[in-house]
Chain A
Amino acid sequence: MDQQELRALEHRCIQEEAPECTAACPIHVDGRAFVGHVARGEWLEAWKVLLKTMPFPGILGRICDAPCRRRCKRREAGDPIQIGDLERACVSTPPPASRVLPLPRKGKTVALVGSGLSGLTAAWDLARKGYSIRIFEPGPRLGGPLRAIPVHRLPETALEKELERLAALDVDVHLNVDVAPAQFFEQCIAKHDAVFLSLEAAPSSNWNLERDDAGKIIVDPMAQSTRRPGVYAGGRPDTAGPSPVWQAAEGRWAATSIDRHLQKVSLTAGREKDGPYTTRLFTSLAGVLPLPRMEVADLQAGYSAVEAVAEARRCLQCECLECVKICAYLERFGAYPRKYAREIYNNESIVMGPRQANKLVNSCSLCGLCERVCPEDFAVQDLCLQARRSMVRRGKMPPSAHEFALQDMRFSLSERFRLTRHAPKLSQSTHVFFPGCQLCASNPAQVKRVYAHLIDALPSGVGMMLSCCGAPAYWAGREDEFRSVCDGFLADWKALGQPELVVACSTCFRMFAEHLSQVPTTSIWQLMEETNFPPAAAATAGRVLAIHDPCTTRPYPVIQEAIRRIVKRLGVSAEELTLSRDKTECCGFGGLMQNVNPDLSREVAARRARISPLDYLTYCAMCRDSLAAVGKRALHLLDIAFPDAVGSDPAARPRPGWSERQENRARLRASLVKEYWGERVQAMQEHERITLIIAPEVAELLDQRRILVEDVQRVIYEAEKSGSVVLHPQTGRLKACHRPYRATIWVEYSPAPAGYVVHTAYSHRIEVMGGPRT
């Protein structure tokens, strides 16, 4: 990822876009933050938000006409938030202590003619930038038309207080000046570096300025420049209207232009967001109940503090977070895709120091639900997968992240499991059954039942392929290894005469569809539907189950619909979960999340399990097992289609541990080759003959630590053979280690008459190169 790609990605996430109120406000007051503080009764903090952008909160906060209301999202569910009234309530509370720190004097003087809100704003902004300010006011006091506002709305004390803040900036004020004559105007221009005309306070028809047909001074909108160089104007009733905030805005834009004019830089560059603009921020109103605005009890006084808080609490605090709301992973890391893109970019480009986003990159389930719900189609899964591939290429992928899953995949690809055969007694196959590694790992008996059924249903010949589709390598970002799995598969498949593939696993289906499109692939569910199998079953009729679609089926409604029709034929009432079909959630296994971040994976499964109290019905072995692992009663569709003995309760079947998953695969292969092809079963390896005695709590510990029973057998076998073992004389226990792959496995054990009692086992990745020898 380069800087440009990063920028494009960051732009796509709209969470940091301005809320409607800020975008609608001519001077961009942060309405969301302001209202948020009011809602919490934090008046000083609310004041500070106003002080940041408003020129004179004590004035404007009382009289603002609040154009923000017209775009407030709340108006789609009740009335818009009355931000103007909330500002008035806020500035009626004591202000925070604030000190204005003007920039160093620039040695340039700007004349302000008239002191309406536009003139005062221009004076305030320019004085703080270090310009000397000279105000010429035709009336006896500063403020011009502001003095005409009823005192209950703008008390004189409030106006004076704000004018004192301006005075503190050493502004040179001239009152009762006759500003109308052309001579005054020309001298003003001659004696100052720039001039601003506050037109709401000092209109004159004598000034020599270019005018339109109606006789009005021509002023460029936003730049606020007249046709005479150095002369700027704003606040005119026909452009700013009676809108105080628009008058203030014109004064502000003029101040910006004057500053740029005097610095001799572009008047217009980078000012696209001066004034109201459109924002891309999306805010969902799903589940938002309509609420009317809080009425003001005392119209003259405005909102009381209690009323203001109640009104502010209606604010939606607009933000997007559509993806974070539905993804425990995105939520877990405390931010949102825009931030994650930056963290992942930094992680990749870091030269020295720790990479802090490795866990972020590797924990994503790659399910892609974020992209489905994002108004701008931000695909976090693509970002994470690209980052993983880059880490693998650069040798920066932590071995601990995926190695166990990859070892498990290599097991599936080894002769211990891998099998490619034509249908028994046939030398060709129109179809081949590819049950996938994890269905065989979870429920080998079912695989045998399905195959027996397929042999009956497809007399033209259905072969058998036991292997892995390579998804673990793909998810781990190991492109070369994935490619070699694909090549290996293609060789086996071609050897069978390129039959149509019948897959039972939705991940396999997707891997083949996306990466081996030359292989005709159908899911076992489509085949079952076509062949009207199974027929209506009395045992399941009337059962109510919630359907959990595996996340890998999201792009394949054809599979999801087939499932629903099969379920219906079986007499099962299917309930849809809140997120289903094209928006279904991952079970926590996808993308190897389960390997990288087991806690998060459990949370994802548990969240999914909580949606409905019903038993879940799914059609992915990993989904079923992940749900079962968090105590959810869950069925695989094959549990219904090919039921066990009467009286069994397959929804309560626990998730088999990692060791059992490998043993199941090895045994399935052995039993298939013996029963169908009459082949001799491979002899056991010597270490497999070692009998272990493992208490249930130790077995669970081993599974959590991903230490296989076979690993333990190998450690003890090697230790007993070599004698490299330490003894604890007090307890008689032995301890030994072995390094079968990039991890050293330790076992503490005791010999017993029937075998070896395993007390504990653990592993580490650091390799011991050797100790001293004497």
Chain B
Amino acid sequence: MKAENVRPEDLEWVCRKCDRPLEVGPVAVEYMGSQFVTEFPTCPGCGFVLISEALALGKIAEVEQILEDK
């Protein structure tokens, strides 16, 4: 999961703490003992990572299922 992780509208969000728009950046994630790096919208200031609803219910749910059945 890389390019399809981020939709243009995901980058319309601004980090309220840093007052900076989110940018696509590499993010480390972990589940069921598997770790990997992928790309999500993140705040270049504080590192806040945004997971959109579409992504959580779609691709991420799929990957979770695969890792759970591994």
Contacts and interface: CB of A to CB of B under 8 A. Distances in A.
B16 A725 contact: yes
A270 interface: no
Contacts of A770: 27-28, 47, 49
Nearest to B57: A762
Contacts of A762: 53, 56-57
A726 B31 contact: no
Contacts of A768: 27-29, 40, 49, 51
A506 to B, nearest CB: 32
Interface in B14-33: 14-17, 22, 25-32
A774 interface: yes
A413 to B, nearest CB: 26
Given A726-B43, A771-B43, A766 B16 contact: no
B37 to A, nearest CB: 9
A771 B56 contact: no
B12 A766 contact: no
B46 A764 contact: no
A519 to B, nearest CB: 37
Interface string A656-696: 00000000000000000000000000000000000000000
A730 B12 contact: yes
Interface string A737-774: 10000001010100000000000101111111111111
Interface string B41-55: 011111111110100
Given A398-B69, A762-B53, A726 B44 contact: no
Nearest to B50: A726
Interface residues of A, number: 35
A756 to B, nearest CB: 15
A541 interface: no
A729 interface: yes
Given A723-B16, A726-B22, A727-B13, A355 B69 contact: yes
A764 B60 contact: yes
Contacts of A727: 13-16
Q: For the complex, would chain B's binding face be called helix, strand, loop or mixed by DSSP majority?
A: mixed
B45 A398 contact: no
A748 B12 CA distance: 14
Contacts of B27: 768-772
Nearest to B40: A771
Nearest to B35: A769
A493 to B, nearest CB: 37
B33 to A, nearest CB: 8
Contacts of B13: 726-728, 735
B17 A725 contact: yes
Contact of A400 (B16, B63, B64, B70): B64
B16 A734 contact: yes
A723 to B, nearest CB: 5
Most buried by B among A726, A737, A760: A726
Contacts of A764: 51, 56, 60-61, 64
B14 A726 contact: yes
Contacts of A763: 56
A760 B57 CA distance: 13
Nearest to B70: A354
Contacts of B28: 768-770
A773 B23 CA distance: 12
Nearest to B46: A773
A442 B67 CA distance: 35
A617 B50 CA distance: 48
A737 B70 CA distance: 27
A77 B59 CA distance: 55
A744 B27 CA distance: 16
A356 interface: yes
Most buried by A among B17, B48, B50, B65: B48
Interface in A177-230: none
B3 interface: no
Contacts of A766: 29-31, 60, 63-64
B4 interface: no
Contacts of A774: 44-45
Contacts of A292: none
Given A355-B70, A735-B13, A771 B25 contact: yes
A595 interface: no
A78 interface: no
A760 B56 CA distance: 13
A773 B17 contact: no
Contacts of A734: 16
A772 B60 CA distance: 20
A399 interface: yes
Contacts of B51: 737, 744, 746, 764, 768
A240 B48 CA distance: 86
A358 interface: yes
Nearest to B13: A726
A414 interface: no
Given A766-B60, A766-B63, A771-B25, A358 B69 contact: yes
A746 B53 contact: yes
Contacts of B44: 772, 774
Contacts of A398: 32, 68-69
B10 to A, nearest CB: 10
Contacts of B60: 764, 766
Contacts of B49: 768, 770-771
A774 to B, nearest CB: 5
29 contacts: A354-B66, A354-B70, A355-B69, A398-B68, A724-B17, A725-B17, A726-B14, A726-B16, A726-B22, A726-B43, A726-B48, A726-B50, A727-B13, A727-B14, A735-B13, A735-B50, A737-B51, A746-B53, A766-B29, A766-B60, A767-B29, A768-B27, A768-B29, A768-B40, A770-B47, A771-B47, A771-B48, A773-B47, A774-B45
Interface of A: 354-356, 358, 398-400, 723-730, 734-735, 737, 744, 746, 748, 760, 762-774
**Which 7 interchain pairs have the tightest Cβ spacing?**
A398-B68, A771-B42, A769-B28, A726-B13, A773-B47, A771-B47, A764-B56
Given A358-B68, A724-B48, A735-B13, 4 more contacts: A355-B69, A764-B51, A768-B51, A770-B47
